């Protein structure tokens, strides 16, 4: 074995028994490559055993003693560990028959004698590049963790299948793991990976050997299924029964039936996932199907998204205020600012419709800033007009917490309107904690140092952890309305609400109950020792002018006392 020239990276194996020919080719190739020489097929195979991973290309003579070129080619192509190496066959003649013969034996290309150096070098370079690109594509074809197709390859495969079988109706079926992030946090990344592999197996079982299945993103999977299989598949997968090996896992499925093949595959997949996402958190629903209802909802969402910037600029958003009462003497203790949108075409909209959308598309930070500023403006005006000094709570969404300059923004707002930071209560939800504990701990401390009062909103609605109460220094715990609305008034029964209120007292936190609708609920709250209450029983959220009438009563009392 001869190594010609210094090691320069790419290496060509030259298989040729005729010494003169070998010398000729070697001189040409070694201008650009490392060359290893072999005098027959047998020797070449030995060399390959050791160097197959570093050989980029083979030049092969077909007529050789010991093992001829075609036998060598057959061996090479039948060994999957080296079948991908391109082979250029060299022959004496340039007859078409020779060329066809070479190619049919698995040669990649063919060069006749006499050798023309520039052509040989170009061919070598092209073949090596082609092969390297192909290797790269291969890497992107499969998902490493599960061995299913990658997203891009899935699109391609689906498109091919749709083009081939025009007579069959298909559907895109996808799955998404409910709360996969929480699962990962609790059980660890390795267990999470294991779950993902199980899900991949589930797809393989569902679709069989030739199924077109892919992992789409972390915990998202999809496949192409024939529509005729859907009824049976749905019967199996809509039951609440847990899947083997996936007992802690809940899968949400989305189905998009392909009716119009002109829709790009990517879009079909988006739609399938949209349905899957639309049933998130619905305990008893496993499968969602893309239909006209969902389509209309998406169109409405699109209309909302398209008009939100203008709406903010044109003042279509307004702030409503819902009063909050102190339970010891039933006086108004403050209010919560809640956004409303009076849309020129869609009409009056409650935040339930647009806030979740704004949280997804990021616009929430702009709207929140607007609401904060309107609130500060009002507080300033009330102060100037001699209304009682009340505090107003504003909602601070998760995205706001992630903004570096939130504390600074808040401080400059209150400074600009000449009000006290303690007049602005900030309601944060625990989801920010679940996602990024350290950040929220730091931000809350910083805001409190600046004098703001921090409320934990919707406590008990998500994955509240007692640990969070310990780590994040809130001032006020705002109990989710589920608490009061499911509370049974059985005397003597140890209630969850009593426990939470006592816990809050023990942590030196005040408590606010929201969603109080009846007198019985109010009495119950007094009984367990809750400090404040908010709800329809007292008042709905009111337009500012109406709220000011309530405030005026307090103002009158102040004036009477003077």
Which positions are annotated as active-site residues? 514
Nearest-approach distance from CB 364 to ligand C2E, in angstroms: 5
> Given candidates 61, 368, 458, 487, which one binds Ca ion under the rule CB under 5 A?
458
- The region that residue 350 occupies, defined by phi over 0 for left and psi between -120 and 50 for alpha, beta otherwise, is beta
Nearest-approach distance from CB 490 to ligand C2E, in angstroms: 22
Half-sphere exposure for 441 (CA within 13 Å, toward CB): 11
Structure tokens at 452: 């703001």
> Residues 411-430 vs Ca ion: string with x where CB under 5 A?
----------------x---
DSSP string, 478-491: EE-HHHHHH----T
**β-strand partners of 511:** 477
Q: How many residues bind Ca ion (CB under 5 A)?
A: 4
Q: Which helix (H) or strand (E) holds 110?
A: strand 109-112
> Measured at the alpha carbon of residue 72, what is the angle toward residues 107 and 96, in degrees to the nearest 5?
35
Phi then psi dihedrals of residue 48, to 5 deg: -60, -40
Considering the complex, state which of residue 153 and residue 341 has its C-beta at the smaller distance from ligand C2E.
Answer: 341
Considering the complex, state which of residue 199 and residue 335 has its C-beta at the smaller distance from ligand C2E.
Answer: 335
What does 143 bind: ligand C2E, Ca ion, none (CB cut-off 5 to 8 Å by kind)? none
Nearest-approach distance from CB 558 to ligand C2E, in angstroms: 27
Half-sphere exposure for 320 (CA within 13 Å, toward CB): 15
What does 338 bind: Ca ion, ligand C2E, none (CB cut-off 5 to 8 Å by kind)? ligand C2E
Please return the burial class of 357, using the count of CB atoms within 10 Å of its CB with bins 0-12, 13-18 and 19+.
Answer: middle
Nearest-approach distance from CB 531 to ligand C2E, in angstroms: 17
> Residues 101-130 vs Ca ion: string with x where CB under 5 A?
------------------------------
Strands in 251-257's sheet, in edge-to-edge order, are 213-217, 220-226, 170-177, 251-257, 287-289
Residue 39 engages Ca ion in binding (rule: CB under 5 A): no
Binding site residues, ligand C2E, CB under 6 A = 322, 338-339, 350-352, 355, 364, 368, 371, 395, 397, 457-458, 481, 514-517, 535-536, 541
Considering the complex, state which of residue 34 and residue 427 has its C-beta at the smaller distance from Ca ion.
Answer: 427
Alpha helices by DSSP H, listed for 188-252, are: 189-207, 230-237
Please return the burial class of 36, using the count of CB atoms within 10 Å of its CB with bins 0-12, 13-18 and 19+.
Answer: buried
What does 79 bind: ligand C2E, Ca ion, none (CB cut-off 5 to 8 Å by kind)? none
What does 451 bind: ligand C2E, Ca ion, none (CB cut-off 5 to 8 Å by kind)? none
Nearest-approach distance from CB 448 to ligand C2E, in angstroms: 20
How far, in Å, CA of 483 to CA of 511, rounded?
12
Nearest-approach distance from CB 338 to ligand C2E, in angstroms: 4
Please tell me whether residue 285 adopts helix, strand or coil conformation.
Answer: coil
What does 541 bind: Ca ion, ligand C2E, none (CB cut-off 5 to 8 Å by kind)? ligand C2E
Considering the complex, state which of residue 175 and residue 464 has its C-beta at the smaller distance from ligand C2E.
Answer: 464
What does 528 bind: ligand C2E, Ca ion, none (CB cut-off 5 to 8 Å by kind)? none
Stretch that binds Ca ion, among 24-32, 253-261, 275-283, 390-398 (CB under 5 A): 390-398
**β-strand partners of 34:** 11
Nearest-approach distance from CB 246 to ligand C2E, in angstroms: 32
> Given candidates 395, 464, 495, 534, which one binds Ca ion under the rule CB under 5 A?
395
How far, in Å, CA of 107 to CA of 60, rounded?
9
DSSP label at 246? -
Q: Are 148 and 142 in contact (CB under 8 A)?
A: yes
The closest of 305, 304, 243, 294 to 272, measured between CA atoms, is: 294
What does 202 bind: Ca ion, ligand C2E, none (CB cut-off 5 to 8 Å by kind)? none
Give the count of beta carbons closer than 10 Å to the beta carbon of residue 135: 10
Please tell me whether residue 466 adopts helix, strand or coil conformation.
Answer: helix
Considering the complex, state which of residue 208 and residue 362 has its C-beta at the smaller distance from ligand C2E.
Answer: 362
Considering the complex, state which of residue 261 and residue 366 has its C-beta at the smaller distance from ligand C2E.
Answer: 366
Nearest-approach distance from CB 493 to ligand C2E, in angstroms: 23
Considering the complex, state which of residue 188 and residue 356 has its C-beta at the smaller distance from ligand C2E.
Answer: 356
Q: Which residue is nearest to ligand C2E (CB)?
A: 535
Considering the complex, state which of residue 219 and residue 457 has its C-beta at the smaller distance from Ca ion.
Answer: 457
Q: Please name the residue that has the structure tokens 């709800």.
A: 535
How far, in Å, CA of 478 to CA of 514, rounded?
7
> Given candidates 61, 109, 457, 487, which one binds Ca ion under the rule CB under 5 A?
457
Contact residues for Ca ion (CB under 5 A)?
395, 427, 457-458
């Amino acid at each position: 074995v001869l190594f010609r020239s210094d090691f320069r990276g790419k290496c060509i194996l030259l298989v040729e028994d005729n010494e003169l020919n070998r010398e000729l080719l070697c001189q040409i190739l070694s201008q650009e490559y490392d060359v290893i020489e072999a005098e027959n097929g047998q020797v070449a195979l030995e060399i390959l055993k050791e160097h197959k991973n570093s050989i980029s290309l083979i030049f092969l003579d077909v007529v050789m003693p010991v093992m001829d070129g075609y036998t060598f080619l057959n061996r090479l192509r039948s060994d999957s560990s080296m079948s991908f190496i391109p082979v250029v066959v060299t022959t004496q003649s340039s007859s078409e028959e020779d060329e066809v013969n070479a190619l049919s034996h698995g040669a990649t290309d063919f060069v006749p004698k006499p050798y023309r150096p520039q052509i040989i070098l170009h061919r070598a370079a092209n073949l090596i590049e082609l092969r390297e690109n192909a290797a790269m594509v291969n890497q992107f074809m499969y998902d490493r963790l599960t061995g299913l197709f990658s997203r891009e390859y899935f699109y391609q495969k689906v498109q091919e299948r749709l083009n081939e079988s025009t007579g069959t109706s298909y559907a895109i079926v996808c799955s998404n793991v409910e709360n996969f992030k929480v699962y990962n946090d609790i059980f660890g990344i390795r267990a999470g990976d294991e779950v993902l592999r199980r899900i991949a197996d589930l797809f393989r079982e569902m679709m069989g050997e030739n199924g077109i299945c892919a992992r789409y993103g972390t915990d998202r999977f999809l496949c192409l299924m024939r529509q005729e299989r859907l009824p049976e598949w749905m019967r199996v997968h809509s039951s609440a029964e847990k899947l083997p090996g996936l007992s802690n896992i809940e899968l949400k499925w989305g189905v998009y039936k392909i009716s119009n093949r002109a829709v790009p595959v990517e879009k079909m997949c988006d739609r399938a996932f949209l349905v899957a996402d639309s049933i998130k958190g619905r305990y008893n629903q496993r499968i969602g199907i893309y239909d006209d209802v969902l389509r209309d909802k998406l169109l409405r969402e699109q209309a909302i998204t398209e008009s939100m910037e203008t709406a903010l600029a044109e003042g279509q958003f307004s702030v409503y205020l819902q009063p909050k009462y102190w339970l010891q003497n039933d006086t108004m203790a403050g209010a919560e600012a809640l956004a409303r949108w009076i849309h020129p075409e869609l009409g009056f909209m409650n935040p339930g419709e647009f806030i979740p959308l704004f949280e997804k598309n990021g616009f929430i930070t702009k709207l929140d800033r607007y609401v904060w500023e309107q609130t500060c403006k009002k507080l300033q005006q009330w102060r100037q007009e001699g209304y009682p000094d009340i505090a107003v709570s504003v909602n601070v969404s998760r995205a706001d917490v992630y903004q570096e300059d939130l504390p600074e923004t808040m401080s400059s707002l209150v400074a600009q309107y000449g009000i006290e930071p303690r007049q602005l209560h900030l309601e944060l939800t625990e989801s920010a904690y679940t996602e990024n504990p350290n950040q929220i701990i730091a931000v809350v401390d910083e805001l409190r140092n600046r004098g703001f009062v921090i409320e934990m909103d919707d406590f008990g609605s998500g994955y509240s952890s007692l640990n969070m109460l310990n780590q994040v220094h809130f001032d006020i715990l705002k109990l989710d309305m589920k608490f009061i609305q499911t509370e049974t008034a059985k005397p003597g029964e140890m209630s969850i609400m009593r426990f939470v209120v006592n816990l809050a007292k023990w942590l030196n936190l005040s408590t606010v109950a929201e969603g109080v609708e009846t007198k019985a609920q109010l009495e119950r709250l007094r009984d367990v020792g809750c400090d404040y209450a908010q709800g329809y029983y007292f008042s709905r959220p009111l337009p500012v002018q109406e709220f000011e009438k309530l405030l005026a009563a307090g103002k009158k009392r102040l004036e009477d006392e003077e």
